[in-house]
Structure formats: C-alpha cells, structure tokens
Amino acid sequence: MELRDSPSACPSLWRCLPCPPAELRLDLVLSSGQTFRWRESSPGAWTGVLGGRVWTLRQERERLWYTVYGEERAGRPAGAEEPGGAETDRILRDYFQLDVGLPALYRAWGAADPLFRKVAGDFPGVRVLRQDPVECLLSFICTSNNHISRIAAMIERLCQAFGRRLCRLDARPFHAFPSLSALAGADAEARLRELGFGYRAKFVSGSARAVAEGLGAEGLHRLRAVPYAEARRVLCALPGVGAKVADCVCLMALDKAEAVPVDTHVWRIARQRYGVALGGRSLTPRAHQEIGPLLRRPPQGPGAGRQPGQGQGGPRPGQLWGWVPLGPPQEGQSPPVSGWGGDRCACSQPGMRRAVGSCLSPARCVLGRSCCPRQ
C-alpha cells in the first residue's frame, strides 16, 4: 500500500481537527523524546503507530489532518481505511490532550518565569502526550544511557520481533507494540539481547513479566486514578525503573501533571539558570528528590519559582526545561538541550528541524557548533 502524505492524495481518506500551531506543533512534540514510534515520512508528514493503527498526520495552517491505514488480515494486503469519524477524532484529541488550551498556560508560565517567557515564542505548541502506560513504561526502560535515535531504532526492532504486523507502506512494515505476554516469555530476554538491548533486555522482559503477573495492563492503567506518590512507588518497584523513568511514565501516561522527570540536563538547568543550590557535582538520588519540588513550587518573587500546572494538556515550565534552551549560553558553555528520552539537537528556527538529533543547517543550531549532520 502506498503512503498518503497529503490530503490531496485520496481526500476522502483524510479527516481534520481544528488545531492552530499555538496549540500543537507536530514537529516539536513528536521529535522531543516523549515517544519513539513516529517518523517524518515526508516533509511535514508524520507517520507512526497509535492505538494499534498506523496513522499519517499533517498540520496545515489551523488544521491537524490525519489518515488511518487498514490492517492486514489473514494474509490479505491492507486496504484503505476510511477515518472512523468520532472515534478517531477522540483518539487523537486524547493522545495530544487537545481539550486543554495551551496558549493560556504559556501566558501564565511566562508571567511567572522571565526565562521561559524569553524562549517560549521559539517553541510554541509543545504538549505532553497521553500515552498507553504499557508502551510508555517499556519504552522508557530502554532510555537509560541512551539517545533518541538509538532508542527509536531499538523500539522498532522490539516491535518487529514481538508485535503483530499491521501493514506495509511503500515496502516499509509497521507493527503494533508487543503485548505483555509476548515480552514476558521464557526466551524474551535472550531474544532482546540478540536484538542489541544489552543489559536492558532483562529489565524489559522482567518488568513485562512483573506487570503481567501482578497489576496487569488494566491495573497499570488504573494508576491514573491514584495519587502521584503511590503511582511512582509502584513503578519504582519494577525491574529497571528508577526515579526518572517512573516520573516519565507518571507524566506521559498516568495523568500525573506534577511529575517532573529529572535528568542531568534538568539538573544543570536548575543549577546554572536558576541558581538552585545542590550539593555535589552530579545528579544524586538526593538531588533528584530536591529538584522536582523546586521546579513545581509557585513563584516567590521575580523569577524565583514555578507556576503549578493547570490541567493535563500541556507541560509546565519545569517539564519543558528538559529540552528547551533557557537563555543565551554563558561564555564557554552551550545551552542545555535534550529530549526526555535522550540527547538531541534543537534548531533555533522552527522550520529548520528535519529529524531527531539533526538540523538542516548547523550554522543555525542553537548549540552554536557544527556537530549536527546534514540530511
């Protein structure tokens, strides 16, 4: 089946939602390291797997366009699937949390934080996704000591080896995310090692087995209804899940808007940009415990704190800090820029970003160096 990269290709198979760029920027959100199943299949078109279906998304002016591809069944090739109207609209609105208005939150955060206000105009429409808890959990276990492009490749191999095939677009196969039972099998760890997961193999298979034999997928979803501290405690008891992974899952899958994932980039931002006094020269467990509350607290003077989150639809400033450069670099330093799932490069001009970890023109990279490969 051919990839449909524009509504002009088979207009009857496309559907749209009202969605201005200030509410959502696909290129910023889908490449930010929150999720690893989307790729820019052609300029401005993003193709990936969501809810066991293959989608292509595209933004044009004030609209978010989408098309959904049919699934292969019993050896038959996939056919065209007409968008299911209210159902597919609901899936996208839930995934991007479009029922919460983002511009008002940006204004509130800018009023509370001069540094955020200074850079917010360059990074509009950045939202926290609402992902499937199982996929989010097992994906973020793969992020330790890793970077976005490698994580995405690992997740692709994981899905090809353990997930059911959904369809093939322009000779490229797409697979669903594996079930817990598939990853909890007796040979799963060995197969994952063969796929290059290294030490993470035992954590992926171990956590899949622990959830399958304990909470189950439904129980993991039910953590959305418990307090943040309880959800975090349950997650941290799973193999390979530490504070950062638990907070990523809480924030991006379990509706815990107060969760602030802390990595070395956020740690440096807290120290260098906000003068947070933290002992030691590295991110220790104690520092991790201290940074989250500091980035959540209300402002207590000009630029001296954060505006608490409002609703679930967008990140708070503290959640954006993981990858948005705040302020000009100090002499001899580069702005801390990262994705939640690993290191990345962010281009200063919104139209310049082309792929995760790269930019079209190194000269325009906000890091001020030519390390970004041309594509």
Residues sharing a CB contact under 8 Å with residue 64, sequence separation 6 or more, in sequence order? 16, 17, 18, 19, 24, 26, 57, 58, 92
Show the domains of the chain with their CATH numbers: 11-96 (3.30.310.40), 119-127+259-338 (no CATH), 133-253 (1.10.340.30), 345-375 (no CATH)
pLDDT at 273: 82
Q: Which residue has the tokens 């439904």?
A: 218
User: Hey, CA dihedral for 75, 84, 124, 244, is it positive or negative?
Assistant: negative
- Predicted local confidence at residue 296, as pLDDT: 74
pLDDT at 305: 29
User: 293 CB contacts (<8 Å, ≥6 apart)?
Assistant: none
Residue 118 bears catalytic tag: no
User: What is the SS3 assignment for 67?
Assistant: strand
What is the reported pLDDT for 346?
Answer: 38
The active-site residue out of 118, 202, 244, 256 is: 244
pLDDT at 144 (0 to 100): 87
- The span from the CA of 52 to the CA of 210, in Å, is 23
Query: What does the pLDDT read at residue 266?
Result: 87
User: For residue 107, what pLDDT is reported?
Assistant: 94
Q: Cα(89)–Cα(183) distance, rounded to whole angstroms?
A: 31
185 exposure class (CB count in 10 Å sphere: 0-12, 13-18, 19+): middle
pLDDT string in tens for the chain (375-residue length): 899 999 987 899 999 999 999 999 999 999 999 999 999 999 999 999 999 999 999 999 999 999 999 987 755 555 556 556 899 999 999 999 999 999 999 999 999 889 899 999 999 999 999 999 999 999 999 998 889 999 999 999 999 999 999 999 999 999 999 999 999 999 999 999 999 999 999 999 999 999 999 999 999 999 999 999 999 999 999 999 999 999 999 999 999 999 999 988 888 888 888 777 776 677 777 777 788 877 776 444 333 323 333 344 444 444 444 434 333 333 333 333 334 454 433 333 333 333 333 333 333 333 333 333 332
| Nearest by Cα to 143 from 32, 234, 33 | 33
